[in-house]
């Protein structure tokens, strides 16, 4: 069984402006097949080495002040050689002990509120696993998806395990079903799969017509007719003693108006 060696370095410093303590960290990890080199601050990654592209990648958010990391990639390459040497010594000294493993826990959720036909992003959060080698795959309606998929770097947790984020860009439609499948050696050949489907509330909101305009129209018409009826009532009361014939005609008009009153559901 392959062993993985991770070296974590922590540095604390005090900000002179806000009197806040910040914690910087760096991680160098290696095994026979895996390489990892990352730098971060306050639990968030700010830079990592891409050994496939042979370059460093800055992962600061868009709103952060720009930073550069000169010489970091070259130092990471050198650290990998040291890591492999230390790993070989450790394996020899301990006579290849069985590797400690922790299985991952997986959850899947959308980044934004879901609306049919509106672009969104599904996030698959895989956490609590060790060692950090993990495979994440996506499927839509039981068909494997490889486009618009991204995977973050491994990020350390306080207990020594790791977590990682995978995302998939989607445009949700009614009855769509997405799944995120995670494979890790601690799962012993039984991958974890989490399923996400378009919420029923989002689908219902897209197909049900709005009843607001019709309701307000019906209520307004009913109130208007009631107003006419009330006005006629007071007019009859005022004229019944003076002009009986006119009052009789108005009563007929009032009866006709009442017969034309409609309900809000017209």
Tokens of 67: 């930073």
The pLDDT of residue 4: 58
Q: What is the pLDDT along the chain (266 residues), one digit of tens a residue?
A: 455 556 656 555 555 555 667 788 888 888 877 888 988 887 778 889 999 889 999 887 666 788 889 999 999 999 999 999 998 888 888 777 777 899 999 999 999 999 999 999 999 999 999 988 899 999 999 999 999 999 988 888 888 899 999 999 999 999 999 999 999 999 999 999 999 998 865 665 554 343 444 434 444 444 454 444 444 444 444 444 444 454 454 444 445 444 444 444 43
The pLDDT of residue 65: 81
pTM of the model: 0.59
Tokens of 248: 């009789």
* 103, 182 Cβ separation under 8 angstroms: no
The pLDDT of residue 186: 94
CATH code for the part of the protein at 105-207: 2.60.40.10
The pLDDT of residue 16: 52
Measured CA to CA, the distance from residue 218 to residue 233 in angstroms comes to 23
The pLDDT of residue 63: 66
* 189, 103 Cβ separation under 8 angstroms: no
Compute the residue count for the chain: 266
* 117, 205 Cβ separation under 8 angstroms: no
Write down the H helix ranges in the chain.
Answer: 72-94, 200-207, 212-239, 244-259
Burial group, residue 11, by CB count within 10 angstroms (0-12, 13-18, 19+): exposed
Domain-by-domain residue ranges, the chain? Answer: 5-94, 105-207, 212-259
The architecture CATH gives domain 5-94: Roll (3.10)
Fold match, 5-94 / 105-207: no
What does each C-alpha distance from 234 to 168, 224, 231, 251, 253 come to in angstroms? 69, 16, 5, 11, 13
Measured CA to CA, the distance from residue 27 to residue 132 in angstroms comes to 12
The pLDDT of residue 79: 94
What does each C-alpha distance from 46 to 158, 163, 253 come to in angstroms? 18, 16, 81
The pLDDT of residue 30: 87
* 84, 28 Cβ separation under 8 angstroms: no
Burial group, residue 132, by CB count within 10 angstroms (0-12, 13-18, 19+): buried
């Amino acid at each position: 069984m392959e062993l993985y060696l991770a070296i974590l370095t922590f540095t604390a410093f005090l900000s002179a402006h806000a009197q806040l303590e910040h914690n910087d960290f760096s991680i160098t990890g290696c095994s026979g097949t895996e390489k990892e080199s990352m730098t971060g601050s306050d639990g968030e990654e700010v830079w990592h080495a891409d050994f496939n592209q042979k370059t460093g990648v800055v992962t600061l958010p868009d709103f952060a002040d720009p930073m550069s990391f000169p010489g970091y990639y070259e130092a990471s390459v050198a650290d990998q050689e040291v890591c492999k040497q230390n790993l070989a010594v450790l394996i020899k000294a301990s006579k290849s002990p069985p590797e400690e493993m922790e299985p991952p826990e997986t959850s899947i959720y959308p980044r934004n509120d879901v609306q049919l036909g509106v672009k969104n992003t599904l996030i698959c959060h895989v956490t609590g696993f060790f060692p950090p080698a993990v495979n994440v795959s996506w499927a839509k309606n039981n068909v494997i998806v490889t486009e618009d998929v991204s995977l973050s770097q491994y990020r350390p947790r306080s207990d020594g395990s790791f977590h990682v984020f995978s995302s998939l860009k989607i445009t949700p439609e009614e009855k769509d079903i997405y799944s995120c499948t995670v494979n890790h050696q601690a799962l012993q050949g039984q991958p974890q799969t989490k399923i996400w489907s378009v919420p029923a509330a989002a689908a219902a909101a897209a197909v049900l017509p709005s009843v607001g305009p019709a309701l307000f129209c019906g209520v307004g018409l009913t109130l208007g007719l009631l107003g006419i009826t009330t006005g006629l009532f007071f007019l009859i009361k005022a004229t019944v003693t003076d002009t009986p014939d006119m009052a009789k005609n108005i009563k007929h008009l009032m009866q006709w108006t009442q017969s034309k009153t409609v309900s809000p559901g017209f």
